[in-house]
Amino acid sequence: MARMYAKRKGKSGSTKPHNETAPEWSNTDSKAVTELIVELGKAGHSSASIGTILRDQHAVPDVRSVLGGKRISSVLAANEIGGTYPEDMMNLMRKAVGIIEHLGSGNHKDLHNKRSLELTEAKIRRLAKYYTGEGRLPSDWKYKRDELRLMVE
């Protein structure tokens, strides 16, 4: 399938091997893994970086197999850790703020980054439409470029 905003085709992402049980060398203590997730979440790590830390430093290759199907983000949400916006949307908003700062600091003729800002804002709007339908954002939430810096900080 072709990319949405490019004239090239892309490869699909890699898939994890299908394992029904965790390997014998892995850490399978669900209580300890949950405590690690909460501790790392309170330290300010994102759910993606928590998964990487658990994999590399604590021998947990797949958190969902250890926690019985629960994701890292659901554990963080159950312990009321995290921001008001979903993580993927916050990452896109941070990216948009960086592009806006770049264009505002004397690079107003940078056409490639103007286009990049348009595409990033379109992605934010599509995600907002999805999250308002899911109920994770208020139904009257709108993307506003001038209020973006306040939302990110």
**pLDDT one digit per residue (tens) for the chain, 153 residues:** 567 777 777 777 777 778 777 788 888 888 999 999 999 999 989 999 999 999 999 989 889 888 888 999 999 999 988 878 889 999 999 999 999 999 999 999 999 999 999 999 999 999 999 999 999 999 999 999 988 888 887
Predicted local confidence at residue 2, as pLDDT: 64
Q: Is 2 helix (H, G, I), strand (E, B) or coil?
A: strand
Predicted local confidence at residue 28, as pLDDT: 81
- Using a cut of 0.85, tell me whether the model's pTM lies above it: no
Q: What is the 3-state secondary structure (H, E, C) of 66-123?
A: HCCCCCHHHHHHHCCCCCCCCHHHHHHHHHHHHHHHHHHCCCCCCHHHHHHHHHHHHH
In a domain, 7, yes or no: no
Predicted local confidence at residue 7, as pLDDT: 75
In a domain, 131, yes or no: yes
Predicted local confidence at residue 151, as pLDDT: 83
> Which residues form the domain of 43?
30-78
In a domain, 16, yes or no: no
Number of domains in the chain: 2
